[in-house]
Amino acid sequence: MNKETILLIDDEQQIRKLLEITLSSNNYKVILAESGKEGILLAANHSPDLILLDIGLPDVNGQEVLKQLRTWFNKAIIVLSVQNNETDIVTALDNGATDYLTKPFRTAELLARIRSAIRKNQHENHKSCTEFGNLQIDFTAHTVKKNGEILKLTTTEFNLLALFIKNEGRVLTHQFILKEIWGVGHQTDTQYLRVFVGTLRKKIEDNYNSPKHIITESGVGYRFT
Amino acid sequence: MNKETILLIDDEQQIRKLLEITLSSNNYKVILAESGKEGILLAANHSPDLILLDIGLPDVNGQEVLKQLRTWFNKAIIVLSVQNNETDIVTALDNGATDYLTKPFRTAELLARIRSAIRKNQHENHKSCTEFGNLQIDFTAHTVKKNGEILKLTTTEFNLLALFIKNEGRVLTHQFILKEIWGVGHQTDTQYLRVFVGTLRKKIEDNYNSPKHIITESGVGYRFT
DNA sequence: TTTACCTGTTAAAATTGGTAAAAATGCGGT
DNA sequence: ACCGCATTTTTACCAATTTTAACAGGTAAA
């Protein structure tokens, strides 16, 4: 069995030590970086399966490191942040973080999220077709079936659903969704989103009043499950 | 049976000696540190089940050591403080201390608190569900039942109740609660707390006028029992 | 007693998310 | 160009929740 490689970018010695031990003993190969700069370098050389990035780095803004990584690195990046720092987290998600954890975190939770993120990596690979509960989506044919019968979706509705499905389980901020679907310059038109989430829900949810697929994350955005 | 490990961080030789003997003879494995620096190092290397930290350290401010530990260490930390130094204790609780003891303390009390803190460690792991008197809480489903019937709580109410339950028996300072629920930057908005404690009490207390669950600790904060 | 402070209560104001429908837009067919 | 149609954008409104503000009671110090 080949181990998955995890790159940890954190300036605090204790955390590096702690996580190195934890992750190694759970059969991951661990690479350590003390700074954002070093992290970017090591990511390029080792192409890890997952990156753990502490947002509170001293040398560069962690968000900058995240942005730079995301220009070419498309595997999972989990962000570590101190205590409920909402704005940091929202910004990180906007910048392409896969998930986040607030310190101090429980080891079990960390491992669970790592597993989930790596699993998603593999799924994410090329495939024009995917099934999802009672939904089947064909990305190339631009069609969606629910329990076998074709749903009639407008292009915007389809794009939105596709975006949700590509980011299954992730919290997508309003801004992020608006940027992806309507382009930059429409990041404040949250009303569009409310309308289209409404129509999508009517079409894909079994019970429109207690949605199981498109979950609203109050104050932040939506999550597709 | 594997012994639980306790890390003692204290600069006074007599106390180290005394506690080492006391704890060893009660079947704990004891690690000693003379300074905050050494303590943090040893904590990282041995990941003890509990830390006893003397707040009155000479090299660094004990509160600083506590804060640093709490960025990654999530097991119990019991703080030792000379006499009833109220502000020290409140600050320590704010910084994430699990419990506190004032010197001089009785051995029986020390042992009792250590047992309780370690027991809570274990509880804190794995469990998405817990029962509490006539209340049953499902953390993942975000639901609360009182005597079997579901209570309708808003997200903020639920988060507050969850925080209380996770810290059952502990005194939570206003600041701490505000930081946890509303995030840093809202630590002076104690009015939020009064309002939400009010609505929570209305929903969970049997007798709203003499609350049994959410107890006011005047001048300090609240305690959930 | 007066004063200050802490806590709790209540209700109004502001914010957020959701719904429905009207108005505007864009596009193929004639 | 014009019409009809589907779709998107805009507008108005509702409901739930959070935040703000005003006030009332109790307690301890001055």
Per the CB < 8 Å rule, is B183 touching A103?
A: no
Q: Using the structure block, give the residue that is written with the tokens 């929570």.
A: B200
Rg for chain B, CA atoms, rounded: 19
Residue B202: per-residue pLDDT: 96
Contacts of B179 in chain A (CB under 8 A): 83-84
Confidence of residue B149 (pLDDT cuts 50, 70, 90): confident
Residue B84: per-residue pLDDT: 60
Cα A135 to Cα A137: distance, rounded to the nearest angstrom: 6
Confidence of residue B103 (pLDDT cuts 50, 70, 90): confident
Per the CB < 8 Å rule, is B44 touching A13?
A: yes
Cβ of residue A198 near strand C, that is under 7 Å? yes
Closest nucleotide C1' to the C-alpha of A174? C17
Give A53's strand partners: A9, A79
Residue B126 has pLDDT above 80, yes or no: no
Cα A80 to Cα A54: distance, rounded to the nearest angstrom: 5
Encode pLDDT of B158-206 as tens digits. 999 999 998 888 889 999 999 889 988 898 999 999 999 999 999 999 9
Residue A65: per-residue pLDDT: 93
Round the average pLDDT of chain B to a whole number and report it: 86
Residue A59: per-residue pLDDT: 67
Confidence of residue A22 (pLDDT cuts 50, 70, 90): confident
> Could you tell me the distance in Å between the CA of residue A144 and the C1' of nucleotide D7?
18
Angle value at C-alpha A122, between A120 and A127, nearest 5 degrees: 100
Residue B59: per-residue pLDDT: 64
Cα B214 to Cα B224: distance, rounded to the nearest angstrom: 5
Asked if residue A163 lies in contact with residue A172, where contact means CB atoms within 8 angstroms, the answer is: yes
Asked if residue B28 lies in contact with residue B3, where contact means CB atoms within 8 angstroms, the answer is: yes
Residue B127 has pLDDT above 70, yes or no: no
DSSP for B154-177, please give it.
-HHHHHHHHHHHHTTTSEEEHHHH
A 10 A CB-CB count for B113 gives 19
Residue B216 has pLDDT above 80, yes or no: yes
Q: Which one is predicted more confidently, A58 or A21?
A: A21
> Which has the minimum average pLDDT: A119-128, A205-214, B8-17?
A119-128
What percentage of chain B exceeds 90 in pLDDT?
A: 40
Per the CB < 8 Å rule, is B40 touching A103?
A: no
Chain A contact present for B114, CB below 8 A: no
Closest nucleotide C1' to the C-alpha of A196? D8
Residue A222 has pLDDT above 70, yes or no: yes
Chain B contact present for A84, CB below 8 A: yes
A 10 A CB-CB count for A82 gives 15
Rg for chain A, CA atoms, rounded: 19
Round the average pLDDT of chain A to a whole number and report it: 86
Confidence of residue A15 (pLDDT cuts 50, 70, 90): confident
Cα A64 to Cα A83: distance, rounded to the nearest angstrom: 20
What percentage of chain A exceeds 90 in pLDDT?
A: 36
Angle, helix B62-70 to helix B86-94, in steps of 10 degrees: 20
Residue A130 has pLDDT above 90, yes or no: no
In the numeric block, which tokens belong to residue A126?
Answer: 């090329």
Chain B contact present for A86, CB below 8 A: yes
- Which strand ranges, in their side-by-side order, compose the sheet holding A214-217? A171-173, A221-224, A214-217
Measured between CA atoms, how close is A155 to chain B, in angstroms?
34
Residue A196: per-residue pLDDT: 97
Nearest one of B206, B203, B225 to B214, comparing CA atoms: B225
Stated pTM of the model: 0.69
Residue A2: per-residue pLDDT: 66
Cβ of residue A157 near strand D, that is under 7 Å? yes
Residue B86 has pLDDT above 70, yes or no: no
> Could you tell me the distance in Å between the CA of residue B207 and the C1' of nucleotide D25?
19
Q: Give the residue on B whose Cα is nearest the Cα of A21.
A: B45
Cα B159 to Cα A189: distance, rounded to the nearest angstrom: 29
In the numeric block, which tokens belong to residue A184?
Answer: 């930059």
Asked if residue A96 lies in contact with residue A62, where contact means CB atoms within 8 angstroms, the answer is: no
Nearest-by-Cβ selection for B73 from A86, A104, A108: A104
Per the CB < 8 Å rule, is B184 touching A15?
A: no
Beta strands in chain B (DSSP E): 4-9, 28-33, 50-54, 76-82, 99-103, 129-132, 135-138, 143-146, 149-151, 171-173, 214-217, 221-224
Confidence of residue A201 (pLDDT cuts 50, 70, 90): very high
Nearest-by-Cβ selection for B179 from A13, A83, A103: A83
Segment A103-113 mean pLDDT:
78
> Could you tell me the distance in Å between the CA of residue A194 and the C1' of nucleotide C29?
34
Encode pLDDT of A140-199 as tens digits. 778 888 888 888 999 999 999 999 988 887 789 999 999 999 998 898 999 999 999 999
